[in-house]
Amino acid sequence: MMRVFGVAISGNCYKVRLALEQLRRPYEWVEVDMMNDGTHTPGFLAMNPNAKVPVLEIEPGKHLPESDAILFYLAEGTALLPSEPFARAQVLQWLFFEQYSHEPYIAVARFIVRFLESNHPRRAELPRLRERGHQALAVMETHLGGRKYFVNDAYSIADIALYAYTHAAEEAGFDMTPYPAVRAWLKRVEATPGFVSMGGSA
Amino acid sequence: MMRVFGVAISGNCYKVRLALEQLRRPYEWVEVDMMNDGTHTPGFLAMNPNAKVPVLEIEPGKHLPESDAILFYLAEGTALLPSEPFARAQVLQWLFFEQYSHEPYIAVARFIVRFLESNHPRRAELPRLRERGHQALAVMETHLGGRKYFVNDAYSIADIALYAYTHAAEEAGFDMTPYPAVRAWLKRVEATPGFVSMGGSA
């Protein structure tokens, strides 16, 4: 059985869990102990020298890091990834958008707000993170106007990847009022078959 | 004929040019006028609402942003992208590594060093960018020890994506002495058929 090395409160790990649940693939979840630097043990670094969760263990000795690469691998040949080359490339476009223009702002703001002390010096980063995060949300709002999902009006791993931290933007302090199309899309994702919410056990 | 909307001095745009040259695909290069905010014109935003180069025009009205999504699209069905699912996923793993853990540090450091005034306040970012950039280079050095290329010892778009800014790390102020495997790999990439160097005309 496949194993996921992850952290339940991480959106990047939640993406993998949501995809596995919706694809009805059996898996075992291995919670990594972040309090004790669990991504820097020799065993973990042998799976991912970049010391980040999640890692998918396809079989013992065969490991794949990077949440969006894992999504692509799991979705290949399923309804969560179109087979037509341009549509596939558009799914990848949004996965790269997520990792470059979205996650580094919204996920990092959420981390600072939710998991650091209220007087932590990293709170000084919040204004810039919020500004860039709002830019990403505005791009999503523009794209989703008149569309049901990100690519070809069909639910795909592009939606899973972007849902993970967008649905948590409010707890990161983002006012979502200016984004009605994004808010409607969040509800649409939550109504897809097999949807599971973030956190909690698998 | 396909068109690339890009900026010659951008490593993300260079990736696309290098792949097109090595695949011997005809294309037209359209240089975007960054001095006059050329990615924020209505015409450009219609191609990419995220206002970034490069954008591949596959045909009029059919546009693909995000450098690494473009690489994947162009390489599909060629020797630059393996067909076996796990190997493909590993190529994607390194593309996401490049965009998340490498480019935001090495490319941004290069931008500050090469293109901003020597007394620009953004130079204050350099120590943190160098620290994170060295972390990425160390991950590459570990992985490349005993390997010729990033995935399955075969040259692929993973190598193209990581070459783009790694070969420019020295001009961004990174001492490459601690990375002999990375330096040997840079030479290996430069010896591949159809290789073209960064900058200059297409």
Transcribe A49-117 into DSSP letters.
TT--S-EEEEETTEEEE-HHHHHHHHHTTSTTS--SHHHHHHHHHHHHHIIIIIHHHHHHHHHHHHHS-
> Which chain B residues are within 8 Å of A69, Cβ to Cβ?
89-90, 92-93, 95-96
B40-72 pLDDT, tens per residue? 999 999 999 999 999 999 999 999 999 999 999
Angle formed by the axes of helices B103-115 and B126-144, to 10°? 130
Domain with CATH 3.40.30.10 in chain B: 2-75
> Which chain B residues are within 8 Å of A104, Cβ to Cβ?
100, 104
What is the reported pLDDT for B35?
86
Report the residue from A49, A85, A143 with minimal CB separation from B143. Answer: A49
What is the reported pLDDT for B120?
97
Look at residue B202 and tell me whether its pLDDT is greater than 50. Answer: no
> Which chain B residues are within 8 Å of A100, Cβ to Cβ?
66, 99-100, 103-104
Closest CA to A192 of A152, A151, A148, A142: A148
Q: What is the pTM of this model?
A: 0.97
* Min Cα separation A112/chain B (Å): 18
Cβ distance of A89 and B96 shorter than 8 Å: no
The interface predicted TM-score (ipTM) is 0.97
**What's the length of chain B?**
202
B14-24 pLDDT, tens per residue? 999 999 999 99
* Min Cα separation B91/chain A (Å): 9
Low-confidence ranges of chain A (pLDDT < 70): 200-202
Domain with CATH 1.20.1050.10 in chain B: 85-190
> Which chain B residues are within 8 Å of A97, Cβ to Cβ?
50, 65-66
Residue of chain A whose alpha carbon sits nearest to that of B66: A93
What is the reported pLDDT for B39?
97
Look at residue B131 and tell me whether its pLDDT is greater than 60. Answer: yes
A162-183 pLDDT, tens per residue? 999 999 999 999 999 999 999 9
* Rg of chain A in Å (alpha carbons): 17
Residue of chain A whose alpha carbon sits nearest to that of B71: A89
In sequence order, what are the beta bridge partners of A24? none
Residues of B with CB under 8 A from a CB of A: 49-50, 52, 58, 62, 64-70, 72-73, 76, 85-86, 88-90, 92-93, 95-97, 99-101, 103-104, 139, 142-143
> Which chain B residues are within 8 Å of A92, Cβ to Cβ?
66, 68-69, 72-73, 92
Mean of the per-residue pLDDT values of chain B = 96
Q: How far apart are CA B180 and CA B160, in angstroms?
A: 19
- Contact indicator for A190, A115 with CB cutoff of 8 Å: no
* Min Cα separation A92/chain B (Å): 5
Average pLDDT on B80-94 reads: 98
**The domain over range B2-75 is classified in CATH as 3.20.20.105:** no
What is the reported pLDDT for B158?
98
β-pairing, B2-6 vs B27-31, is parallel
**CATH number at A85-190:** 1.20.1050.10
- Contact indicator for B164, B106 with CB cutoff of 8 Å: no
> Which chain A residues are within 8 Å of B49, Cβ to Cβ?
139, 142-143
Look at residue B90 and tell me whether its pLDDT is greater than 50. Answer: yes
The label of the residue with tokens 């306040």 reads: B121
Residue of chain B whose alpha carbon sits nearest to that of A48: B139
Question: Sign (positive/negative) of CA torsion A84, B95, A41, B184?
Answer: positive
| Exposure letters B23-39 (e unless 16+ CB within 10 A, then b) | eeeebebeebeeeeebb
B134-165 pLDDT, tens per residue? 999 999 999 999 999 999 999 999 999 999 99
> Which chain B residues are within 8 Å of A103, Cβ to Cβ?
100
* Min Cα separation A200/chain B (Å): 27
